[in-house]
Each structure stands twice: as C-alpha cells, then as structure tokens.
A and B are shown apart, each in its own frame.
Chain A
C-alpha cells in the first residue's frame, strides 16, 4: 500500500515535470523573411547584410509584436544569381518559388535584383499572395507602374528605394549644378545592356537635350565587357565633358581605370556603378577611381547626416560586418525590415491584406528620411528634404573617401574636377 502510494506520487511528479511549462515561455513560430538575392554580387550581399543587421537588432529587442505575441524574425536566403551574365530569369523565379513553398517564407524582402527578374517575379508573388519589398537593384520604372496599372493583381509588391526616373531627376539636377559651377555641357552616355540602364540612359539623354546639354553619344555595353577603350575614344572624339555611366557589372572598374590612364577630360558620373560604390574601390584601383561620382540611390550608403539614424546605421553596419555600407542596397534593405516590423505591429497579423494596408499607411522616420509609400504604386516617396521623403545620395571619390556632394541638404563636401580637366579649363 505504502509502496503503491509512493509509485503514484512518482508518476504524478514525473508527469507534472514533463507537462508543466518550463520557466521559459513556449517560443512562438518565427516570422520567415525570404531573401532571393544574387549573393555573389555587391547588390546581393550588401542587401543580405542590411537585412541581417536589422533582423539581429530587432530580435535582440525581443522580436516583432504580432497581435500581442512576440515573434522572432528568421532569414531564409537563396542565391538567385540574377546579376550574372548568361543566367536565365527562370533561375531567379525558381528561387522565389522555393522560398515561398519550401522555406515557408511569410514575406519576401530584397530581390530579385535584376529588373527583368523582379518584373517576372511579380505574377508569382500575386499567385502566392506574398507581400514583397524590393530593396536593391530593380530600378526599372516599370515595376511600380505595373502596380499602379493593375493594383488588384500586383498590390503585394512594394519598392522602398529610389527608381530610375527619380535617379535621373537627381542626376540631372546634379548635372545642372555641375554645368552652373564648371561650365560643362557635353554629355556622353555609357550604359550596360540591361533594362534599367537602357531605360535610364534614354530618359537622361532626352531630359539633358531639353535642358540645353549636348548629348554627343550613347554607347551600350554588354554585361561582362572587359575593354571600354573604343567607347572612351568615341567619347573623347565627341568632345565629351561628362560621362554618364549606368552599369552594375564589376567590369565597370576597368572603364574607370582606362578613363584615368587615358586622362580623358570628362567627369565620370555613375549610377548603379557597383564597382565605385564599394569602400574598397580606392584601394582596388590604386586611386584611379578618383573624382568619380556615384549615385548610391539612398542616404546611408555613404556617410552623411541625413537623419539622426543615418550614422547610427552606418556605424552599426561597419561594426557588424567590418566594412562600411557597400552599395545601393545596404540602407534600404535594413529599412525594409524595420518598415515591415512597423507594419506588422500595426496590422496585428501576418495576413497579407492587413499588412498591405498597414504598409500603405507607413509614415516612419528612417535612415534616409521619411519612409512613406505611394498608395497607388507602392513606390517609396522621394524628396530632397529628409523630413519629407526618402533622400537620395550622390558622392564623389576624393582623397580615398566617399564624400557626399548631392543633394545640398545632406552634402558633406563639394564636387571637384580632375587636374587634367582643370588645366583644360
């Protein structure tokens, strides 16, 4: 009797220990952030680093509040290879589908990065009703135009960084500033044979002509070009004073080396010029990248004081990854996670419809200014004033440093000309 009493007690205690909740609350399922990114390329790995930094910070603060329940964020990443020459768009689509179906991603953040691949992924996101925020590359104006044209179908797609038309506006304003300051007015356009660059080059050429510039030529280079000599000679013969460069391929650094070696009297002005955006560019080109201007799309990708958060992000990124923010996808990818967190918390659910509504109502002061989306096109609203919208950032390589020179509201220095151009002047 006594024995069986003890036995009952032992069984009861064991059952209690097994079934009772431990001191720690049962962890809720993490929110899966699917990142389809070309990790071998700058615009892939800078976006990944931006995302991971934000995720780590948010998780360290206890995660995301979803309707009163704290949930952690988890990153699932698949290499899309969509920036590599010769890789078909279908590869990127497979990556997106795998993230949704196999990795059970709740949201898609980052890519695909190549405009062609991102555009092709839009119907896929609609089919699976997955909210997506593109944060790196994807500069084609077609992306948000498609959302505006067929809202019901493409309402899941958001873009949190500047796009080609906005970039062209910023570049054109900066060019006007250069014309006013140095009297340069002959523009030669060099673009990579990809959708966003071709479109941007054409838009820039048309606007420049209207603004009284001489557009002396447009040269289109295939992805992977390793020699730009003939294009540069064409520019020289045409009397170019500014070279507008639209190319994200790594080989663009070859172009700048050749430009320097030829001492071409034309100021290189890049957009999505991946090679020149990286902090290691100066060392890699042994200073031959001097004087090159580069548009890094949003503030925070080069040092400035656009908002109190800008340098906080810049320093946190540098500390975590051992390198300064590297490319146009760094600050926007970081902000996308915070923007998504903000929207989920306001929606109180992960349900797509509610999150879309919350994202459309976003009004958040971030790394590169005020983050708001156009409710019709889901494009982030740009501005030269960080208090009003997402601010762009154009820097120039000066003495081994990336000095932000435009827009005026966040400029840290002034544009300077190479000595061989000063002499000609």
Chain B
C-alpha cells in the first residue's frame, strides 16, 4: 500500500516537473534547458513576495507565476528565436540561460536552507495505515487537474488547437495561417508557468535551494526521453513508469539507488527505442 500511495505521489510530482518541458518541445521543437532554472525562479519570487514584501500567499504565487511566464517568453523572444532550428545551439543557449539564472541566485546570496514556503494544508492523514500529509494529497489532485486541463485546453480552445497543430505538423499549421513564432512564445511562456506551478506545489514540502534547478531539469529530461520528446501523453505515462520504478528501488534496493533510476531509464530508452514510448522522431529508422 505504501508503494502504491507514494508511487502515485512520486509519479504525479515527476509529471508536474516534466509537463512544461514536454509542452515547449512539442510546440516549438526547442529543448528548453532553462526549465529547471524557471522552477527555481518561481520559488524564490514567491518567497520574496511572501516573506520580504509580506504579500498574501496566493497573490505572491500569482505574481511569481506571471513573472516566470514573462521570463520564459523573453528567453525565447530575445535568445532562442535567433538559434531556432539549430539543435545544439538551442541546447547551449537555453542551458547557458538556466545556468546564469541559477548561479546568479547563488551569487546574490540565495544559499542555505532557510528559504521555505508554507504548505497549503497543514497536517497529515493515515490511509490504510500509511501516513501521508495533506500537501502531498493536494499535489496529486493538482497534478491530475493540470493533466485534465491541458487535455481540455488543447482540444477545445483556439490557442490550444493551434498549439496542437504546431506540435503535429508545423508546415501544415503555417499554411493555415498559424504564426509559428507567436505560438512558440506562447508555448515557452506556458511551459515556464507549468514549471512554476510544479515549484509552487512541490517546494513547500522542502526548501528552496538553487541545486533543485539541476535536479528538476534532469528528471524532466528523463521523463520526456522515456515518454517520447514532444508527447504530453508520453510524459505522463513515463512519469508513472519512472515514479513507480524509483519507489520500488527505494523499497527493495535502497534509497541511494533512487537517483540512478532516471538516468538508467534514459540509457535503456535510447538503446531500445530512441523515439521513446510515444515519440515519432525516429519512427522510420526504428521500423527499418
């Protein structure tokens, strides 16, 4: 039962961390290696508004997520648009931006363990003899809601359909009058806000440390490679595979092997099915 409960929580956490990355790549084909940095940005911004400016918690969250969205859009508009289509340059440019942001926070003195956000709901509950705190239950609920919202958004709204069109066939979308760059900015901003949402939900469980930016990036990349780059559904499925694999590893092998799982998943996927579970970029090669 404990494996099931914490496996669900771990999987949803991974999905929250990875969805933004998957969305940006799916729409603009840009691997946003600043994803982890945007996660940290939201955390520190919320902390700043809440603890320094003493704003209301939910207002702080709203402002932080909006600013993170703008930062994401600016990264694309000012930097990534110039190297779009050059895969290596996109990775280097976005990673450099992420590195500058993360190490910038460290340089400004955001170090140590005292940067924390309050949980939304205090206390814990016992389910089938397993204690779990309300914040984690909330993470599962919000994660589920985000996946549902994304599905509805991409199926029933004009912007969502345009994003989907871009993800499926960019050239056909261009012929229908969809502005590729505009959609990429929207995706980048939206992806940044999703990274921010993950931060808002998960950081109250611990503390805000700059190193988290690197961890989130690695996990997001692992999930997206296993699920198939650009596939949102793949990201969700891969989150559950890796999430449960991590919990099984902790229970049966020991906690110190947990970090290996994500990296091992990348290696196995690249060997057996380079496109990932739902990816299509190497489908023809794999068939041949």
Contacts and interface: CB of A to CB of B under 8 A. Distances in A.
Interface of A: 39-42, 45, 84-86, 193, 219-222, 224-231, 233-234, 236, 250-251, 253-254, 257-258, 261-264, 274-275, 278, 280-281, 283-286
A227 B207 CA distance: 11
Interface residues of B, number: 38
Interface stretch (B140-148, B154-162, B170-178, B252-260): B252-260
Contacts of B281: none
Contacts of B212: 226
Contacts of A231: 250, 255
B206 interface: yes
Nearest to B260: A222
B131 A193 contact: no
A285 B256 contact: no
A286 B118 contact: yes
B2 A233 contact: yes
B111 A41 contact: yes
A263 B126 CA distance: 11
B271 interface: no
Contact of A261 (B115, B116, B133): B133
A42 B215 contact: no
A241 to B, nearest CB: 17
Contacts of B135: 261
Given A230-B250, A253-B206, A224 B215 contact: yes
Contacts of B106: 40
Closest CB pairs A-B (n = 8) = A254-B206, A280-B114, A261-B133, A250-B113, A262-B131, A284-B114, A220-B256, A40-B111
A227 B210 CA distance: 17
A258 B205 CA distance: 8
B283 interface: no
Contacts of A221: 255-256
Contact of B113 (A220, A234, A274): A274
Interface of B: 2, 6, 9-10, 13, 106, 111-116, 118, 123-124, 130-133, 135-136, 205-207, 209-212, 214-215, 247, 250-251, 254-256, 258-259
Given A230-B250, A231-B250, A250 B130 contact: no
Given A230-B2, A233-B2, A285 B209 contact: no
Contacts, number: 108
A253 B212 CA distance: 14
A285 B116 contact: yes
B245 to A, nearest CB: 13
6 contacts: A193-B256, A221-B256, A224-B259, A280-B113, A283-B114, A284-B207
Given A222-B258, A285-B116, A250 B209 contact: yes
A236 B112 CA distance: 29
A220 B250 CA distance: 10
Contacts of B207: 250-251, 253-254, 275, 284
A324 B130 CA distance: 39
Given A40-B106, A263-B124, A281-B113, A226 B251 contact: no
A261 B130 CA distance: 12
Given A226-B205, A229-B132, 20 more contacts: A41-B112, A85-B211, A221-B256, A222-B255, A222-B256, A225-B259, A227-B10, A230-B250, A233-B131, A250-B112, A250-B211, A251-B207, A253-B113, A253-B207, A254-B205, A261-B133, A263-B131, A278-B113, A284-B115, A284-B116
Contacts of A280: 112-114
Nearest to B254: A220
A281 B255 contact: no
A219 B254 contact: yes
Contacts of A278: 112-114
A84 B211 contact: yes
B211 A275 contact: no
A225 B257 CA distance: 11
B6 A230 contact: yes
Contacts of A275: 113, 207
Contacts of B211: 84-85, 224, 250
A293 to B, nearest CB: 17
A143 to B, nearest CB: 23
B255 A251 contact: no
B2 A261 contact: no
Given A230-B2, A230-B247, A254-B205, A261 B123 contact: yes
A251 B206 contact: yes
Contacts of A228: 255
Contact of A230 (B111, B115, B136, B255): B255
Given A224-B259, A250-B207, A253-B113, A233 B254 contact: no
